[in-house]
Structure 1
Amino acid sequence: MKITQAVHSFPPEIGGVERHTYELSGYLSKMGEDVVVHTTVESKKQEKFAVKSHWGLRFPFFSSVIWVPFLGLKLAMEDTDVYVSHGYGSLMPFCTALASIITGKPFVFTVHGYPQLSGLGRIAQWIYRNTVARVVLWRAKKIIVVSREAKYFLQGQTNKNKLVYIPNGVDTNEFQCPPFTEGEYITYVGRLDKDKRVGMLINAMGKMGKKEKLLVAGNDEGERPGLVELAENLGVDAEFTRVEPEEMPRVYCYSKAIVLPSRYEGFSLVWLEAMASGRPMFSTPVGQAPELFREVYGENAEKFLFPDEEGLINRLNYFIENEEEFAEIVERAQEVVKEKYSWKAMAEKTLKVYESVVRRK
């Protein structure tokens, strides 16, 4: 099958959408499918699938809003069986839907999360929902959602029979680390934007008064200078770095624990990668986190979920003072993730969705 994917960002950029598209494309190619990815990022040449990069006009404040002139026509020129695009809030799905309309080829839309925005962002989201999203959701034959929360929010905007839940996966062979007790850092992995609330983690570590070191690994979207200043003012021993995707396993191995204080998530790959690495994963109870954490941590899930800064302080303090207590819990979580969340299994489920819309066209 010939599969054309369009996504606003792609490795070497770091993020959940980027990683998902990269891993999915790789596994689909291994399964014998012909995959091409259109994106706005200059990416390294891939051995198993093609990547075509385009110039795009970037809008301020919204990293996923990038307009690529004539992309719809460029996609329509592809010899493909199915079009796929990623990211609610991105303009790439709109261009992909146009290509689908022009060619009559089926279109599958993948939603990685449903943003819970405020202020100007909320206004922009309302405009998107009532313009771009209407076209995209109407044209899509199937809509893959990586979290049940996103599925819930979309049910009022489209035919619920279009919605298919397929969670993210993880390459469990890639994340092989020594015991977390040998790690040096409390680590944040992800973009540096306001909705990730890295400042909450820095504030928490400053108030804890412990000598733990903080590692912040991810792409800056305008927040880094303020976060660096905050860490310096609070006396937090913090290291800020941008790492390539292939270096991510090393980041987890250096870490004692991973913290994700996001305002919203769909199904964060950081959760799975941390768990697969045998690292305690602390997160706000957003998106798929409550369900996933109950699945992997069982009755201990609340030890890893925190609602606010005070909750984070309490959980990190307890963890640091009782590390040995967490060893068996973390080991069980690692086994569950390796058993149930492989990228191979998720790619197989995704391919079945693509095949179903191609047969129906």
Structure 2
Amino acid sequence: MPCDLRRRVPESVVHLVQPVDGGVARVVIDLVRAQTRAGMRVVIACPPGGELPRAAAAAGAEVRVWLAERGPGPNLPWEAAYAGRLLRRAGPEVVHLHSSKAGLAGRLALRGRMPTVFQPHAWSFEALTGPAARLAAAWERRAARWAGRVLCVSEAERARGEAAGLSARWSVIPNGVDLERYPEADGVARRGARAALATVHGLPQRAPLVVCVGRLTRQKGQDVLLRAWPRVAARVPGARLALVGDGPERPGLGAVAGPDVLLAGHTEDAGPWYAAADAVVLPSRWEGMALAPLEAMAVGRPVVLTDVGGARETLPEGQAPHCLVPPGDPDALADALAALLLDPARRAALGRAAAAHARRSHDVRRTAAACLGLYAEMLAGRGGEEAGPRRPGGPEPVPDAREFSRP
């Protein structure tokens, strides 16, 4: 990396974030760790509670309270004004807006008056239907001009934005995972994790186990998984399903879950669940690029995903026929899961390939370094659409985040 780019890495950044838990929070926490190590002053502005404020402070960030509801509502004008005041007082060189709510309030507040990166983490209009979806897409088309870069986590996410009519300065940087936090788990680690879960949750140690990690929401599709599960259980006697996470859909899911389904609730560390699993599933209705499958792959577990967002880009080459199913199709989902549970040799091969792929293409250090490079390019006023790894040609080599540290 040329020396002049190293000198242009900003000294300060503010991340405006809502939500404060789940995959978005974990992405931001990883960025905070890398950016503070690179010598930057990092400020997190977010609502209180959740995982993000505590972990960001532990990583060395300044945490400032931004009172904002999760979705748009009548308080939006006040939330935007409050965000604007926070951002102006912090005085950063770069503002990084995460997810649709922060993107809405932050761009309304700044309107391009500060160097701004907007990262949707899945488009807001994908979560909506009818007039609401059209209104959200119209807003994104208008607000794209107020972002120095629109940062997508997959080529599919960018393509979806372009199809909705957005004209933006695009960058694509795939999500990454902390490989030290999610080491590959061998048979010994699996048995240890199963023993621990048997003690806490009563799961049979030798039962085939499918794990779904994600917030219990319509987006993540756990309702489709529960419709598929009886077909899996009929073909794989004794199989168990664990839904790891919490959210607004928990009461409804609990009402239809059978005795072979465990609603495990929220966890601060999903690593033991991945290690214990025979397969990991995420039947989402829409995504940018989900983090949980990448974490599971790093641990060495095969994943079954719905063909939405960046799912195809998540998987190693050649795994789509085994691991990708249409969204909202419980029969296809059941077939894919049952086939994996009944074929230990295939599971092992897919898991080994998944672990190698996660280390090769989704190391969070590469993601963080590419994000720092994006900031530097934006501040330097350099042209070009892409600042990060691209698909389908494969990721370009990205330097370690330490290469961006100032002397």
The two structures have a TM-score, normalised by structure 1, of 0.86
Kept after mapping to 2: 8 A contact 1:25/1:49: yes
Deviates more, 1:74-83 or 1:40-49: 40-49
Kept after mapping to 1: 8 A contact 2:125/2:136: no
Q: Kindly tell me: are residues 196 and 352 of structure 1, through their superposed partners in 2, closer, same or farther at Cα, counting changes over 3 Å? A: same
Q: What's the counterpart of residue 230 of structure 1?
A: 256
Say how many residue pairs are matched.
342
Alpha-carbon distance in structure 2 between the residues aligned to 1:186 and 1:65: 44
Q: Find the partner of 1:113 among 122, 131, 148.
A: 122
Q: What's the counterpart of residue 67 of structure 2?
A: 55
Alpha-carbon distance in structure 2 between the residues aligned to 1:66 and 1:181: 49
Q: Find the partner of 1:77 among 73, 89, 114.
A: 89
Alpha-carbon distance in structure 1 between the residues aligned to 2:370 and 2:314: 19
Kept after mapping to 1: 8 A contact 2:279/2:341: no
Q: Kindly tell me: are residues 262 and 359 of structure 1, through their superposed partners in 2, closer, same or farther at Cα, counting changes over 3 Å? A: same
Taking the TM superposition and a 5 Å limit, the aligned residue runs for 1:95-110 are 95-101=105-111, 104-110=113-119
Alpha-carbon distance in structure 2 between the residues aligned to 1:6 and 1:239: 32
Q: What's the counterpart of residue 253 of structure 1?
A: 275
Q: What's the counterpart of residue 304 of structure 1?
A: 323
Q: Find the partner of 1:199 among 223, 234, 237.
A: 223
Alpha-carbon distance in structure 1 between the residues aligned to 2:72 and 2:120: 22
Q: How far apart are 1:3 and its partner, in Å?
A: 0.4
Q: Kindly tell me: are residues 34 and 190 of structure 1, through their superposed partners in 2, closer, same or farther at Cα, counting changes over 3 Å? A: same
Alpha-carbon distance in structure 2 between the residues aligned to 1:2 and 1:93: 19
For the residue of structure 1 that corresponds to 2:34, the secondary structure is helix
**What amino acid is the match of 2:267?**
V
Q: Kindly tell me: are residues 59 and 337 of structure 1, through their superposed partners in 2, closer, same or farther at Cα, counting changes over 3 Å? A: closer
Work out whether 1:124 is the aligned partner of 2:151.
no
Aligned-residue identity in percent: 24
Work out whether 1:287 is the aligned partner of 2:309.
yes
Alpha-carbon distance in structure 2 between the residues aligned to 1:129 and 1:300: 33
Q: How far apart are 1:159 and its partner, in Å?
A: 3.3
For the residue of structure 1 that corresponds to 2:211, the secondary structure is strand
Give a deviation string over 1:111-168, Cα, whole Å, max 9, x none. 22225647x644323222323x2453111111111011221122254435x1011110
Q: Kindly tell me: are residues 47 and 152 of structure 1, through their superposed partners in 2, closer, same or farther at Cα, counting changes over 3 Å? A: closer
Alpha-carbon distance in structure 2 between the residues aligned to 1:121 and 1:358: 37
For the residue of structure 1 that corresponds to 2:288, the secondary structure is coil
For the residue of structure 2 that corresponds to 1:85, the secondary structure is strand
Q: How far apart are 1:215 and its partner, in Å?
A: 1.1
Q: What's the counterpart of residue 276 of structure 1?
A: 298
Deviates more, 1:45-54 or 1:177-186: 177-186
Q: What's the counterpart of residue 378 of structure 2?
A: 357
Q: Kindly tell me: are residues 98 and 203 of structure 1, through their superposed partners in 2, closer, same or farther at Cα, counting changes over 3 Å? A: closer
For the residue of structure 1 that corresponds to 2:90, the secondary structure is coil
The root-mean-square deviation of aligned C-alpha atoms, in Å, is 2.6
Give a deviation string over 1:71-99, Cα, whole Å, max 9, x none. 21221111211111011x32x22332245
Alpha-carbon distance in structure 2 between the residues aligned to 1:229 and 1:211: 21
Q: What's the counterpart of residue 146 of structure 2?
A: 139
Q: How far apart are 1:39 and its partner, in Å?
A: 0.7
